[in-house]
Copies of this chain bind each other. A is one copy, B any other.
Amino acid sequence: MSTNARIADPDEVISFEELGLAARNHGFPLEALRYDVTPVGLHYLLTHYDIPAVDPGSWRLRIGGHVDSPVTLRLDEVRSLPRATHTVTFECAGNGRARLSPRPISQPWLDGAVGTATWTGTPLAALLREAGPRAGAVDVAFTGADHGTERGVEQDYVRGLALDDCLRDEVLLAYEINGQPLPPQHGFPLRLVVPGWYGMTQVKWLTEVTVLDAPFTGFQNEIAYRYRETEDGPSEPVTRIKPRALMIPPGFPDFMTRDRIVDAGPVTLEGRAWSGWAPIAQVEVSVDGGETWKAADLDPLGERWAWRRWTFGWDAEPGEYRLTVRAADAAGNVQPVDQPWNRQGMGNNMVQQIPVTVRPAAS
């Protein structure tokens, strides 16, 4: 077996394997952009293997490796530590993959691998400092209870993160979502939450936190989540979320095609924008498929790690339109209109395109 992901042939439509993933993994329906915080059950969900059955009584969190004082904690002990809450926008690094051409073969996301939740847990940094990383510690490996094979490699899901990134104030070990205990699919009983980073970093069903004195070289960091142009060429790690804006598709849909019909007249377009690199600084809307752009109105900045709401007044006259929207962040990152591409379909943030038909208003 090869650890290279497959690319679809130019005329290849969706395979049954891709459908199997699309049926298991949950996209976010775009009308749910109306909610500041995504209700449980509408947040996107990607599960690499199976959702594991974790017994909270026998579950333990083990913090060890290159540390002075390894520690093992029961769930009630984790829950008795200092609490912190952050509202955070998550996005799968593969969001938009199925729109790339040629299409990398994996979970075939369209636009909806996103969601925003309010996570409550205990800050990771204090726990790590209590364990006491030794001189020379560089990375931390986070192990989940989920187990499977991926491109021929049998593994528990493990992701590594630089120690410095682990010590940031906003990083949590979370046991609640939206004020409720984590449901199984979101990592019960404990998950890592690293605001600003793509979803592969948000390790679910966490069991082990292992401090390393050498860079982590596991599958998910070295093989899976990479920006890679060619099979054997150089690659870069996937890290923080690139800027993206999405719009609630206006009007109403057709069941099968999802084509939209909008009644003529004043329409308030609205949506959300986010970036893991810096706060959102600008959102622009085009109603002519990207030929001309106008600035949207931005809601005041809210929580740093949550998406920012935008609105745009459109006087819709009868006709055919292609609506699109793009975001830019305060660090100067601008969402591209042309299609970026990489071999595994990672970190793609090309703009959403919504064809709509505006019909004359009923008289």
Query: Residues on A close to B: CB < 8 A?
Result: 12-24, 26-27, 29, 31-32, 34-35, 39-43, 45, 47-51, 53, 98, 105-106, 108-110, 112, 147-151, 154, 183-186, 249, 252-258, 261
Contact = CB atoms under 8 A, between A and B. Distances in A.
Given A23-B112, A184-B32, A256 B41 contact: no
Nearest to A146: B252
Assembly of this chain: how many copies? Answer: 2
Contact of A47 (B22, B29, B154): B29
Nearest to A40: B41
Given A13-B13, A109-B23, A29 B50 contact: yes
Contact of A27 (B15, B16, B24, B42): B24
Contacts of A151: 255-256
21 contacts: A13-B16, A14-B15, A14-B18, A19-B108, A19-B110, A20-B258, A22-B23, A23-B27, A23-B112, A24-B27, A29-B47, A29-B50, A31-B51, A32-B51, A32-B184, A35-B184, A41-B41, A41-B183, A49-B253, A150-B254, A150-B256
Nearest to A149: B254
Determine which residue in A15, A16, A20 has the highest number of CB atoms from chain B within 10 A of its CB, and name it: A20
A14 B17 contact: no
Contacts of A252: 49-50, 147-149
Given A39-B185, A40-B183, A106 B51 contact: no
A255 B49 CA distance: 6
Contacts of A249: 50
Contacts of A34: 53
A256 B106 contact: yes
Sorted nearest first, the 6 A-B pairs with minimum C-beta distance are A41-B41, A14-B14, A23-B27, A22-B22, A150-B255, A39-B183
A339 to B, nearest CB: 16
A108 B249 CA distance: 22
A39 B13 CA distance: 33
Determine which residue in A13, A23, A24, A110 has the highest number of CB atoms from chain B within 10 A of its CB, and name it: A23
Contacts of A183: 39-42
A148 B262 CA distance: 11
A19 B83 CA distance: 40
Contacts of A112: 23-24
A246 to B, nearest CB: 14
A3 to B, nearest CB: 12
A40 B53 CA distance: 16
